[in-house]
Chain A
């Protein structure tokens, strides 16, 4: 149901909802960026709509709400283990259409691929998603190529213009709170074209896994893993046990974000490791995003947010890589014919 209301009214509603929900949205952290006088936009708790950064793309995705960077799974003392408590409150997350598609990728891994993940599910079940529209494309976005520029899968859509707020609600509690607001026809803003366009090769033959094409990335990539950490669809983790210095018998098991670009990702006890070459790690990641994930689950993993291209300190462009790979695949096919 669509409504027109005011920012003041919405803030009252969110204040009320905050009794049961923590509200997360992209916020501008002034001067917190990597370089001097550079801001960073990342997710944080908000209490007022004015805190939300609508005008720019967030540098990090919302994924840390559902998959914390470091998450305690359980506490242990000698032979007893206790599952870590779930947060008492649910969450409301403001995010864009591409990220909402990213959520589906996370659901696929954490709810469908093998056993249901207890920790993900308990957060996911209590999270509401509020769509932020995109009036125009940001730099490096290629959502249109990935088909993620629109989504109906939201609990609400919100557009704030000064004091006026347009809402499209799929959420009963919000409909109830907005009863009496002016009905309106609200269609989420979305882009229809991006400056960056990618063409994904239908299949990438395994013979190209060792192609010199990847060596360029091997020379440039510094294996920092930033592309993985900003990506809303990268969901890997590593287990980590810690124990308390005051009581060595007690501690906790955590999972922390992992990156397939960073050394150690495949290391096994005894010394075996795979993909020691950084170019091969790039190949592994790229083909996961736009090749093998689709073969397993039916959709591409990449949602075209372009954050990996925004963040790379070596200016490696994932979008360019896909396009160049497409050319390579086509050229190779031609040569074989």
Chain B
């Protein structure tokens, strides 16, 4: 039998649209099959192209794709999503393996849309808090109006420790302010051997958070990151995401820091 053409996308129905901000919506898409947090789909819009979008939630027969309206493809998705369908290819990439974090003290630090690829991890441990020693979610957004997954935060706060901060508060805001790194020193870690850190966000944010966690005594092998690069194929062909001998689409986007620290563009 001829192998399946990996470039031809399949049609997926939009079952729900959750609006977080003016430019960030979560599209709940029909999908049955294996998928892990941190994996991604190429969302395909004939005429406009494709964009790699990470899985921000996994449901029964659905996957969530949180899309930011920042480019040619995503602009069009926002214009024309009403009661519609999208083409998808994937899932691609390795994703996060929940098993790596079970029974540990987990510190998850996310910046902005960096929360999307790790949201599946938060969902899991929020639903199964007994599967880990402790779970701390530290998230930073630019401003209160950039906050994503507000409803989910309400749920998470019941089950896990959540520290939410914004860089630029407005008049109506009363929570934490400042960069996520500001809140790292006060986080208590009981046993560094059993503590894992998961860090996803803009490159500069990841660099600073990792440096702080290492200073705090975290072991390199207990730190995990996820990388984002331009990808045209998702299957190791187009070359755009390659860093050194690593293809982010095939070997990543999730890396243990012992490997991730050597990724230099």
Contacts and interface: CB of A to CB of B under 8 A. Distances in A.
Interface stretch (A22-30, A91-99, A191-199, A262-270): A262-270
B27 to A, nearest CB: 16
A243 B47 contact: yes
Contacts of A275: 265
Contact of B264 (A114, A206, A255): A206
Contacts of A209: 264
A187 interface: no
Nearest to A109: B237
Interface stretch (A47-55, A172-180, A292-300): A292-300
Interface stretch (A37-45, A132-140, A233-241, A304-312): A233-241
B70 interface: yes
A270 B235 contact: no
B211 to A, nearest CB: 17
B265 A237 contact: no
B46 A81 contact: yes
Contacts of B237: 109-110, 113-114, 117, 235, 237
A293 B232 contact: no
Contacts of A270: 68, 70-71
Interface stretch (A58-66, A71-79, A158-166, A322-330): A71-79
Interface stretch (B119-127, B139-147, B238-246): B238-246
Contact of A255 (B11, B46, B232): B232
Interface residues of B, number: 44
B73 A81 contact: no
A163 B116 CA distance: 69
Contacts of B87: 81
Contacts of A240: 49
Contacts of A284: 265
Nearest to B74: A269
B203 interface: yes
B70 A253 contact: no
A114 B264 CA distance: 22
B229 A241 contact: no
A170 interface: no
Contacts of B72: 269
Contacts of B85: 79
Q: Which of B5, B85, B229, B265 has the most CB of A within 10 A?
A: B5
A209 B264 CA distance: 9
A72 B108 CA distance: 43
B46 A268 contact: no
Contact of B240 (A73, A118, A238, A288): A238
B47 A81 contact: no
Contact of B47 (A83, A206, A251): A251
A269 B71 contact: yes
B41 to A, nearest CB: 15
Contact count band on A? 35 or more
Nearest to B251: A296
A274 B236 contact: no
B247 interface: yes
Contact of A114 (B71, B240, B250): B250
A203 to B, nearest CB: 12
A76 B46 contact: yes
Contacts of B228: 268, 272
Contact of A74 (B8, B203, B264): B8
A292 B239 contact: no
A260 interface: yes
Contact of A269 (B6, B73, B264): B73
A247 to B, nearest CB: 11
A160 to B, nearest CB: 36
A209 to B, nearest CB: 6
A79 B9 CA distance: 11
Contacts of A251: 46-47
Contact of B239 (A260, A267, A272, A296): A260
Nearest to A297: B245
Nearest to A260: B239
A46 interface: no
A287 interface: yes
Nearest to B84: A79
Looking at B68, B72, B242, B250, the one whose CB has the most chain A CB atoms below 10 A away is B242
A170 to B, nearest CB: 26
B7 interface: yes
A83 B7 CA distance: 9
Given A74-B8, A121-B3, 14 more contacts: A109-B236, A113-B247, A114-B237, A115-B3, A117-B6, A118-B7, A236-B240, A239-B50, A269-B68, A269-B74, A271-B70, A272-B203, A288-B242, A295-B244
26 contacts: A73-B7, A76-B47, A79-B11, A81-B9, A81-B46, A109-B237, A113-B247, A114-B237, A114-B247, A116-B6, A117-B6, A118-B7, A237-B232, A237-B238, A239-B238, A241-B45, A248-B47, A253-B7, A258-B232, A258-B239, A265-B240, A269-B68, A269-B72, A274-B265, A284-B265, A296-B245
**A-B interface, 5 closest residue pairs, ranked by CB to CB distance from nearest:** A269-B71, A114-B236, A236-B239, A274-B265, A292-B245
